[in-house]
Amino acid sequence: MPAAVELRGITKRFPGVVANDAVDFEAAEGEVHALLGENGAGKSTLSNILTGLYRPDEGEIALRGAPVSFTSPRDALDAGICMVHQHFRLVPPFTVAENVILGDHRGEGKKLMVHPRRIEQRVAELGRRYRIAVDPRARVWQLSLGEQQRVEILKALYREARILILDEPTAVLTPQEADSLFETLRVMADEGRTIIFISHKLHEVKAVSDRVTVLRGGKTVDTVQTKDATQRSLAALMVGREVALAERVERAGEVGAPVLDVRDLWAAGDRGGDALRGVSLTVRAGEIVAIAGVAGNGQRELAETVTGMRPAVRGEVAVDGKRLHSGDARAAIRAGVAHVPEDRLTTGVAPSLSIASNVVLKSYRGKSVTRGPLLRLGAIREHAAALIERYDVRGGGPELPARRLSGGNLQKVVLAREFHGSPRVLVVASPTRGLDVAAIETVHRYLREAAADGVGVLLISEDLDEIRALADRIFVIYEGAIVGELDARTATVEEIGLLMAGGVAE
């Protein structure tokens, strides 16, 4: 029987980079096939080619043995290929049912008059069958990210997708929600559909897939049976060398006096409503305290309020016992609060400005780089060159626009700047999202070093592996409130996961 989907010799070039280099890939009907690779390995490019968003420069695509050529995403949809993107493609003011028929040009969606009842019934039915219940009349903006993902999957099922591609689907889920997603995927595969599961998390790939294809540097490295592989062997294939999986390293340094005190902090979200609801926590010098939680539960607002980017509605933030003026980022910076924001490309740096400018983004008022109102551009350049050297930033010199750096090197620039001001408190949000394994190692090392130097680190992350590798204590955040505090040495994934889903600690 021919494979459900086969890609042969796919090559896609972008200016200055070969994203896919003669990639071969095939997946059978009824299997969950994982596509494993680091960021930049070519996974997204490959899935964009399969969904008709890009056209390959070379190579061919065959569905059940028949060659196809997609000129637009619609061709791929018509051929039964659906994709659940990392960033959902939903219309927030629309209901679930309306989103499901959006773009459907065969059935209900094609008619001039839309009959919501009929679609709602069909959606409810699909939800029951695949155990992915969502209220079809709910508006998408009311749903959690996990529920929105279900809508995306329902969309694919409604369109009777034969091939479903999921791009990093578990980033927005608790461990328990991820498990239930895996069950749904299993049911779908057992019906003869093909599931392509894109991930860089090894334990998930182990848990859900039948086979794994590993990409590295735009090339296919190997396709292996999941049951014959171990996490370690997959990691080695992915990185190209033996790697230490993120493991706990006990740190020597002493834990000192409290440096960051957050008391009953309330803050509004971007769309109104309380994004933070009475958060209290303390971080001591030399300690790494983690905030765990599913994305969108107030983490971003917490980081922004603590660092003064967002005014607090109520409550206070104190550094070294001194209360900070709410909503004043400059005051927070002066008090020694460093911040590595989750969105490093538009918040952490001014992307079109040079590395040199970005290195002094917070210190451009300082005496060492100014003379009266004038900037000492030479001194700034030298300072940047020194930091580039010390933090091993690769890709260009001080004059390079920041956006031209890779994610890992960009993060090094941000870290270099934030560490340089000898901070008291370091607020880091998703510091390794999108980075490759080598860069993750580096970032983790810097964070441990910072803690060893007596900085109080507040680590906000959705990656439980990262939290368990770095943190001393873990706070779990759910709907803007802290729902539990755990000792990182003894906490289990199940415990954390339960709290992340809003459960109560025993």
Partner 1 sequence: MIRIERRLAQPKWLSLAVPIGSVVVAFGVMTVVLLVTHHSPGSTFRRIFDTGFLGSQSLNATFVAATPLLFTGLCAAVAFRMQLFNIGGEGQLYAGAILGAAAGIALGNHSGWLSVPAMIAAGAAGGAALALVPGILRAFLSTNEIITSLMLNYVGALVISYLIFDSQSYWRDTSSPTAKVFPQGKNLPDAASWPAAHVGSLFLPFGLIAGAVVALLVWILYTRTRFGFEVQVIGDSPRAASYAGMRTRRKILAVMALSGAIAGIGGASQDGDFRHTLDPRGLTTAGYGYAGIVIAALARYNPFAVVLVAFLLGGIQNAGFALQGADFPSGLVGVLQGLILFCALGGELLIRYRIRFARTGHAAEAAA
Closer Cβ to partner 1, 40 or 484, answer by number: 40
Smallest distance, partner 1 to C-beta of residue 308, A = 7
Nearest to 243 by CA among 252, 253, 251, 234: 234
- The answer to whether the CB of 497 falls within 8 A of the CB of 174 is yes
Smallest distance, partner 1 to C-beta of residue 75, A = 11
Smallest distance, partner 1 to C-beta of residue 293, A = 22
- The answer to whether the CB of 190 falls within 8 A of the CB of 159 is no
- The answer to whether the CB of 268 falls within 8 A of the CB of 304 is no
Greatest Cα-to-Cα distance within the chain, rounded to the nearest angstrom: 77
Closer Cβ to partner 1, 286 or 434, answer by number: 434
Smallest distance, partner 1 to C-beta of residue 374, A = 5
Closer Cβ to partner 1, 71 or 490, answer by number: 71
Nearest to 461 by CA among 479, 476, 483: 476
Could you say whether residue 15 binds partner 1 (CB under 8 A)? Answer: yes
Scan residues 310-349 and list those touching partner 1 (CB under 8 A).
328-333, 339, 341, 343, 346-349
Cβ partners under 8 Å of residue 240, min gap 6: 216, 221
Could you say whether residue 55 binds partner 1 (CB under 8 A)? Answer: yes
Cβ partners under 8 Å of residue 221, min gap 6: 214, 215, 237, 238, 240
Smallest distance, partner 1 to C-beta of residue 279, A = 20
Nearest to 499 by CA among 481, 480, 466, 477: 477
- Give helix 231-239 / helix 437-452 axis angle, nearest 10°: 100
- Between the CA atoms of 311, 317, 319 and 320, what dihedral angle is there, to the nearest 10 degrees? 150
Stretch that binds partner 1, among 54-62, 161-169, 231-239, 456-464 (CB under 8 A): 54-62
- Give helix 407-420 / helix 377-390 axis angle, nearest 10°: 110
Report how far apart, in Å, the C-alpha atoms of 86 and of each of 19, 90, 172, 288, 350 are: 19, 12, 9, 29, 24
Smallest distance, partner 1 to C-beta of residue 307, A = 8
Closer Cβ to partner 1, 232 or 365, answer by number: 365
- Give helix 407-420 / helix 437-452 axis angle, nearest 10°: 10
Scan residues 462-491 and list those touching partner 1 (CB under 8 A).
none
Closer Cβ to partner 1, 401 or 503, answer by number: 401
- Binding mask 275-314 vs partner 1 (x if CB under 8 A, - otherwise)? --------------------------------xxx-----
Could you say whether residue 353 binds partner 1 (CB under 8 A)? Answer: yes
Smallest distance, partner 1 to C-beta of residue 62, A = 8
- Binding mask 355-394 vs partner 1 (x if CB under 8 A, - otherwise)? --x---xx-xx----x--xxx-x-----------------
Distance CA 207, CA 179 (A): 9
Closer Cβ to partner 1, 75 or 479, answer by number: 75
Could you say whether residue 351 binds partner 1 (CB under 8 A)? Answer: yes
Closer Cβ to partner 1, 131 or 330, answer by number: 330
Binding residues for partner 1, rule: CB under 8 A, are 14-16, 55-56, 60-61, 67, 69, 71, 307-309, 328-333, 339, 341, 343, 346-353, 357, 361-362, 364-365, 370, 373-375, 377, 404
